[in-house]
Structure 1
Amino acid sequence: MFRSASAQIFRQALRCSSTDSSLILERSINRVQLLGRVGQDPVMRQVEGRNPVTIFSLATNEMWRSGEGEMSSTGDVSQKTTWHRVSVFKPGLRDLAYQYVKKGSRILVEGKLDYGEYVDKNQVRRQATTIIADNIVFLSDNMRDRT
């Protein structure tokens, strides 16, 4: 194991020293997995000259126990719900999501984070975070039966 790792590092070092440093691209990871419930039925939108996109919201919940008994079963339980905007661009997945994702469905979404800006109807510049879905796993029984 160490031999192969050290060999990879050595090969990478050779590549770095033998090429122009401005041409070297680092590898990086932008991956997200969300497990939650759909907040609204999906909508399909198409901006002029672009491919259509299916969009829906997904809620994830975080729960914790606070108070005297954090390690025991006593204490208050708190919950925080976070809403995520999910966009599906892949043609086959986009159509499946539009057809089978329904409000209240429990799904797992795998994809990447995307940050962007837009101008709202009041001409105010806003920032938006979107999950670009690469895969959707249907976990609700009624959804699995339909596919």
Structure 2
Amino acid sequence: MWQRIDVLRQFVRHESDTVSSLVLERSMNRVQLLGRVGQDPIMRQVDGKNPVTIFSLATNEMWRTGESETTQGGDISQKTTWHRISVFRPGLRDVTYQYVKRGARLYVEGKIDYGEYTDKNNVRRQATTIINWDSTFFLSL
């Protein structure tokens, strides 16, 4: 039991109950995706800020439906989810832009980010983006 408490103390730190104290706690925002690149990456630069490489990644979820879930019976259903990937790190950004191509199998690690932007019709939209910090390329078979 004491081991569990020690482990929890590593993740949550309470300094004191006073208003002026700072409460620090660890949290995690981590995403791992393995899928196929949907479009060739593009590089954008907005308002003189650092450039960003953007591409889409498709992941698939498959399951069997019907009475029998064995390999012999049932229908196979599939759902494809598209993810917007943004790469800001200079070295990774440039390598991604140069070598990643549509259809490539790619493993991506990063964090999920929710934001807003105004489109060309001046309408506010919400966007979910994966901020990539590491990628591994696989041979497309």
Whether TM exceeds 0.5 here: the answer is yes
Residues 79-125 of structure 1, C-alpha deviations (whole Å, 9 max, x = no match): 11111000000011001100111000001000000001111122221
Alignment TM-score, normalising by the size of structure 1? 0.84
Q: Is the 2:15–2:21 contact (alpha carbons within 8 Å) kept by the matching residues of 1? A: no
Deviations 1:59-83, CA, capped at 9 Å, x for gaps: 0001111011124531110111111
Task: Name the SS of the counterpart of 2:82 in structure 1.
Answer: strand
Inter-CA distance 60–122: structure 2 relative to 1 (3 Å threshold) = same
- What is the SS of the residue equivalent to 1:97? helix
**1:73 pairs with 2:72:** yes
Gaps of 5+ in 1: 143-147
Q: Bigger shift: 83-92 or 4-13? A: 4-13
TM-superposed CA distance for 1:17, in Å, is 3.0
Distance 1:132 1:14 in 2: 27
Residue type of the partner of 2:55? Answer: F
**Which residue in the other structure is 1:82 paired with?**
81
Letter in 2 for 1:46: Q
Distance 2:125 2:10 in 1: 44
How do residues 27-38 of structure 1 correspond to structure 2 at under 5 angstroms? 27-38=26-37
The within-5 A match list for 1:132-147 is 132-140=131-139
Contact kept, 8 Å, 2:12 with 2:25, in 1: the verdict is no
Paired positions, count = 141
- Give the structure 1 partner of residue 51 of structure 2: 52
Distance 1:5 1:102, change over 3 A: same
Partners of 2:75 and 2:123 in 1: CA distance: 40
| 1:21–1:27 distance in 2 versus 1, CA, 3 Å | farther
Q: Which ranges of structure 2 fall in alignment gaps of 5 or more residues?
A: none
More helix by share: 1
1:87 is matched by which residue type in structure 2? S
> For the aligned residues, what is the CA RMSD?
2.5
